[in-house]
Amino acid sequence: MRPDRREDDEVRALHSVLGLLNRADGSAQFSSGRTSVYSGVYGPVGARVYDEKLDRAYVEVRGWADTGPAGTADRWTESAVRETFERVVAAQLYPRTMVQISVQVREDDGAVDAAAINATALALIDAAVPLRDTVAAAACAVREDGSAV
């Protein structure tokens, strides 16, 4: 039995909502149990001169926690989202532009990176940004005895 009273083979309840943010081109909320993440996508928009890439769009990711200033864990999540979607967004279709992704962790009860990646994938789809592939993420733990949880 886990601390949140789930059995070892029981997954968290999953929930998603698209189009929550009015000013974003695409947005989504993804929840996995009590972990909840919002993602907003803006663009493609004109890139700042120092971010401009001649052959593709620049993918910018900004992440923060709902509880205060961003910490190391927030930067790790931001990096995971950036590295995932730099490879997935069909950036070559929009040279000299930028796709901005904003990620906000509303509640952290574990598996934030996976929830952020799933929220961002849904927000990009909601914004109709062309993607090379569809992305989904999951998190699991491996115990010392080698069993996966």
- pTM for the model stands at 0.85
| pLDDT tens figures, 99-131 | 889 999 998 888 899 999 999 999 999 999 999
Query: What distances in angstroms separate CA 30 from CA 2, 23, 46, 56, one per listed residue?
Result: 22, 18, 28, 28
* Model confidence at 29: pLDDT above 90: yes
Q: At what angle do helices 72-88 and 112-126 cross, to 10 degrees?
A: 40
Q: Which of 59, 66, 55 is nearest to 81 (CA)?
A: 59
Give the torsion sign (CA, 118, 111, 21, 85): negative
